[in-house]
């Protein structure tokens, strides 16, 4: 079963706006990762945040992690049409042996 | 990041036939690979963990006799869908885990359609 729930399920914004999506999970984790998937394609790793980290940046991406609330957020700033994709969070549980459990995903549409 | 390939990228087969999907690690040796299934507009569900030189570990609810996994070398894992049925139609994605970066790198996926 999926550990993560993502919110919102879908998001439509104008180019240049920021996009924020949230992920909640249930059990203790080693790390949480965010991936992007373009339609019908494989997954591209975006960013990994460890359980002892609270915030991480990579280019236009900002990820936060709140282990007390078991939640994470992904912010894409100054969005571009090329950011249109589905975004998934995935958690690696403490006893998971590197296995990832994926959230339901957020479908982001960036309109030019 | 690491490069993972899958072959074929898509396949259409008749019900009852078996289909083999290959997952190759192109630039490093992967002792552990993972197989996922993704139905349309849904998330990835882990099917099994493939360990080089040993039997795969299947997730609950995944039939090991139906989804045969072989990880015969450090660069190749195969998933064979045996006696495929229309409900097996899905997007199958493999990944390899890199100990160096503690990250999974995903293949481009294989679209299976069973008629």
B23 touches chain A (CB under 8 A): no
CB contact under 8 A, A2 and B1: no
Quick one: A44 exposed, middle or buried, by C-beta within 10 A (0-12, 13-18, 19+)?
Answer: middle
CB contact under 8 A, B104 and A100: yes
Selected residue of B47, B103, B109, B113 to mutate for chain A interface (largest A Cβ count, 10 A): B103
Q: Each residue of A1-58: pLDDT tens digit?
A: 445 688 899 999 999 999 999 999 998 999 999 999 998 888 999 999 999 999 999 9
Q: Which residue has the tokens 């949230």?
A: A22
**pLDDT tens by residue, chain B, 115 residues:** 678 999 999 999 999 999 999 999 888 777 789 999 999 888 999 999 988 888 899 999 999 999 999 887 888 999 999 999 999 999 999 998 887 777 888 999 999 999 9
B58 touches chain A (CB under 8 A): no
Quick one: B115 exposed, middle or buried, by C-beta within 10 A (0-12, 13-18, 19+)?
Answer: exposed
Quick one: B5 exposed, middle or buried, by C-beta within 10 A (0-12, 13-18, 19+)?
Answer: middle
Phi and psi torsions of A61, nearest 5°: -100, 140
* In contact, B115 and B69? CB cutoff 8 Å: no
Structure tokens at B109: 């996926």
Note every long-range contact of B56-60, with CB atoms under 8 Å and residues 24 or more positions apart, other chains counting: none
């Amino acid at each position: 079963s999926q550990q993560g729930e993502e919110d919102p399920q879908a998001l439509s914004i104008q180019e240049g706006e920021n996009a924020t999506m949230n992920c909640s999970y249930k059990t203790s984790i080693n790390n949480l990762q965010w991936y992007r998937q373009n339609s019908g394609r494989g997954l591209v790793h975006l960013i990994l945040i460890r359980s002892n980290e609270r915030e991480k940046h990579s280019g236009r991406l900002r990820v936060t992690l709140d282990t007390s609330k078991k939640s994470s957020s992904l912010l894409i700033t100054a969005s571009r049409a090329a950011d249109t994709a589905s975004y998934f969070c995935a958690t690696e549980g403490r006893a998971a042996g590197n296995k990832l459990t994926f959230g339901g995903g957020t479908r982001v549409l960036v309109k030019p | 990041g690491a490069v993972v390939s899958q072959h074929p990228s898509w396949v259409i087969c008749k019900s009852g036939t078996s289909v083999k999907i290959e997952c190759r690690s192109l630039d490093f040796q992967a002792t552990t690979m993972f197989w996922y299934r993704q139905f349309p507009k849904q998330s990835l569900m882990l099917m099994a963990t493939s360990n080089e030189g040993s039997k795969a570990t299947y997730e609950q609810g995944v039939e090991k006799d139906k989804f045969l996994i072989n990880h015969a070398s450090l660069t190749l894992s195969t998933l064979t869908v045996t006696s495929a049925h229309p409900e097996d139609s899905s997007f199958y994605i493999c990944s390899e885990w890199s100990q160096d970066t503690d990250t999974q790198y995903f293949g481009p996926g294989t679209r299976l359609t069973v008629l």
